[in-house]
Chain A
C-alpha cells in the first residue's frame, strides 16, 4: 500500500504561497497601481498640489506628434537591437561551442560587457564615436565620411543601437552557449553520418533544439530594449538630435525626471506597460507554438 501524506488544512497552501505573494505585491502590483493612479493626477514636482484630472494626461499625450514619433523610434530601435544582439550572440556562441584552445578565456571575456553599467557603456561609446573627440570617429572623418551623430539622426541611432547591442550580447551569449551545450552530441553526430553539412546540421538540428532558449531570450530582450536602455540613450545622445533617439522609455524619463511632469510621465508608463504586456502575450501565444521543448 502506498504511503501518502495528506494535508487537510485548506489554509496551508495559501500560507505557503504568502511570502511569494507579498513580494509580488510589494514590488510589482503596488508600484504599478501607483503609476496608474498617478496618471490620473496633475501634481507639481514637490507634491504640494495634487488634482484629479481624469484622462487629461492621456489626451494631452496622445495629441503630441512627438509621442508618435517616439513610438516609431522605439519600433526601429527595439527591432534592430533585439535582432542584432540575438543573431550576433548566437554566432559567437556557436563558435565558442567548438573545441577551441583557450575557450574558457574566450567565454569569460565575452561575458564582461554585461557587468558594465548602461550609462558607463554609453560613455565608452561616446569616447569612441564623438564626432570630434572620438578615437574611431577621426578615421571615419578622415575617409571623408561625414560622421555626425550630433545632427544626423541615423548616425545617432546607429550609435545607440551599437552601444545597446554590445551590452546585451554577453547576456544572450551566455544563454545560447548553455543551450548549445545541452544539445546531445549524438544527434548531431547522427546527422553528420547521414551526410548533412555543418550549415544543414545547424538549421535542421541545432536551431530547432535551441528554440526554447531563443524564445526565452526574445522575450527578455524585448523587455530589455523597452525598459533598460534609457541609461545608454541619456549618456550617448540625450534623445537627440531632434528626437531621433527618443524612445518611449526615454520620454518617460525625460518628462518625469527632467520635466517634473509626473502625471504625464505616469500616463506614458501605463501605456508602455500595456504595450509590453501585449507584446509578451503575443509572443507566448503565437511564437511559443513553434518552440520545441
Chain B
C-alpha cells in the first residue's frame, strides 16, 4: 500500500516535471574589467536588461584588469569555456580581430539575429576604431574616452597665465611660468606616455603612426613615427625634462593625482579621469583640447579613442547569439546611451545620444565632458586619424615607452630613440603577421 502510494506520487512528480514548459532562460556570460563605480554601472545594465525581458539573462563577471580579462578570455577559449561577451581594451583590438573563428563579428551577429542595426547611427570616430576598412563593425564599443589636457585654473592664474594654452609652444611657455611661480618639480606632465606622445600626437597632427592607415588596412603595416615632427616634439620634451619644466610621469595613469594634488597644473590624460578629478581636486579645473604645433600642416586634425569594446566569442549557439544581439540593441537605445554618458563620463556611441545630450543643455553645465567629443569630431577622420591596429599592441606600448624613457633620461637622442622604437616595433609586427593569417 505504502509502496504503491509512493509509486503513484513518483509517477505524478515525473509527469509534472516533463510537463513543465521548457522555458529555460538562456544565460549570456559577460566578462569585464570595470572597477568601482563603473562596476556598478555594468551590473545595473545587466539587471535592467534582465528585467526588460524574460528569455535571456546576462551574467556579468569581473575578471580583473584589462590585460587580465583579455588573458582570461584567451585561456578560456583555449579550454573551450569562453564567455559570450568579453570586454577588451582598445589595444587588444588587432589580437582579437586576427583570431578568425574565435570571435563573431558584431555586424555578422546583428545580421544573423535579424536585429535592426544601422552602422551609420554610431559615431564614426568611435566605431572606426573597431571596424574593418570596409566599415564592418567587428566589436561593440562600450566605454570610450579620448585624451584631453587638464588645467588647474587657480594655479595658472597665480602664475600669470591668462589664457589656456592651445599650442605646444604656448604650453611650454605656461609651464616655464608655472615653474617660476613655485611648481619646481613639474611644469606640465602626462599619463599614458606612448598614447600621448606617439598615438594621439600623430593623429592630432595628421601624420601616420604606421603605413596602411595605421595598420587598419592590413597586418603588413610598417611603423613610421620617427618623422621630423615626432623628433622635434620629443627633443622639446627632452630639453624641458632637464629642469623639470616637463616631468615624465610613467607609462600608465598611476601618476594622475599629481594633477589633483596640485603639483602639475597642466596634465594630459584620459577624459575618463573626469570622475576622479571631480571627487579629488580641490581647485577650479577644466579640460581643454590637446595642444598642437601651429606650423604642422592641418593640425589639429582629430583625436582617437581609448577605452574598451565588447567582443562576441565564436562557437556559441544561434539562440545565445540572438540574446547577445538583443543586448547590444538594448545598449544602443538613445536614452540609455545619453544617460550612461552623462553619469559615467564615457563618450556616447550613437549620434542620437550625443545630439540629445547637446539638446538637453548638459554641456553648458559640464563643458569638460564635451572636450573629448569636440576633439574626436574636430575634422573628418583621415587615414592617419581613424584609429590604429597593430599586433601585440599591449606590449608594443611598453616598448615605445621604454625608448621614450631612454631619451628623456638622456641615454639616447630623440632621433635614436624613435628610430629604435620603430625598428623594434616593426620586428614585433612581423612576428605577429606570421601568426595572424
Contact = CB atoms under 8 A, between A and B. Distances in A.
Q: Do A and B bind each other?
A: yes
Interface of A: 42-49, 60, 66, 126, 130, 132-133, 141, 150-153, 238-243, 254-255, 257-261, 264
Interface residues of B, number: 45
Contacts of B74: 45-46, 260
Nearest to B241: A151
Interface stretch (B151-159, B225-233, B390-398): B390-398
Given A130-B254, A133-B261, A151-B408, 16 more contacts: A44-B435, A45-B74, A45-B99, A46-B74, A47-B77, A49-B435, A126-B254, A132-B186, A132-B263, A133-B255, A151-B409, A241-B405, A258-B394, A259-B394, A260-B95, A261-B392
A43 B435 contact: yes
A264 B428 CA distance: 11
B405 A47 contact: no
Contacts of A152: 409
A240 B251 contact: yes
Contact of A264 (B185, B258, B431): B431
B249 A48 contact: no
A104 to B, nearest CB: 39
Lowest 8 CB-CB distances: which A-B pairs, in order? Answer: A259-B395, A242-B406, A241-B405, A44-B435, A242-B405, A258-B395, A46-B99, A46-B102
Interface string B35-67: 000000000000000000000000000000001
16 contacts: A45-B74, A45-B95, A47-B78, A48-B101, A60-B427, A150-B405, A151-B409, A238-B398, A241-B405, A242-B403, A242-B409, A258-B395, A259-B394, A259-B395, A260-B394, A261-B392
A260 B393 CA distance: 10
Q: Which secondary structure dominates chain A's binding surface?
A: loop
Interface in B236-259: 241, 248-252, 254-255, 257-258
B98 interface: yes
B434 interface: yes
Given A48-B101, A258-B394, A150 B431 contact: no
Contacts of A66: 424
Nearest to A150: B250
Contacts of B392: 259-261
Contacts of A260: 74, 95, 392, 394-395
Given A44-B99, A243-B402, A150 B248 contact: yes
B411 interface: yes
A45 B98 CA distance: 10
B317 interface: no
B148 interface: no
Given A60-B431, A264-B431, A46 B77 contact: yes
B329 interface: no
Contacts of A43: 435
Interface of B: 67, 71, 74, 77-78, 95, 98-102, 185-186, 241, 248-252, 254-255, 257-258, 261, 263, 392, 394-395, 398, 401-403, 405-406, 408-409, 411, 424, 427-428, 431, 434-437
Contacts of B250: 150
A152 to B, nearest CB: 7
A188 B428 CA distance: 62
A41 B380 CA distance: 44
A236 to B, nearest CB: 11
Contacts of A44: 98-99, 435-436
Contacts of B403: 242
Nearest to B428: A259
A257 B67 contact: yes
A49 B437 contact: yes
A62 to B, nearest CB: 13
Q: Taking each of B261, B409, B428, which has the highest tally of chain A beta carbons within 10 Å of its own beta carbon? A: B409
Contacts of A151: 241, 248, 405, 408-409
Contacts of A241: 402, 405-406, 409
Nearest to A50: B435
A255 B395 contact: yes
A261 B263 CA distance: 39
Contacts of A153: 409
Contacts of B78: 46-47
A125 B326 CA distance: 47
Nearest to B431: A261
A42 B435 CA distance: 7
Contacts of B248: 150-151
A25 to B, nearest CB: 22
Contacts of B395: 254-255, 258-261
Q: Taking each of B102, B248, B263, B405, which has the highest tally of chain A beta carbons within 10 Å of its own beta carbon? A: B405
A228 to B, nearest CB: 20
Q: Taking each of A45, A66, A238, A243, which has the highest tally of chain B beta carbons within 10 Å of its own beta carbon? A: A45
B263 to A, nearest CB: 6
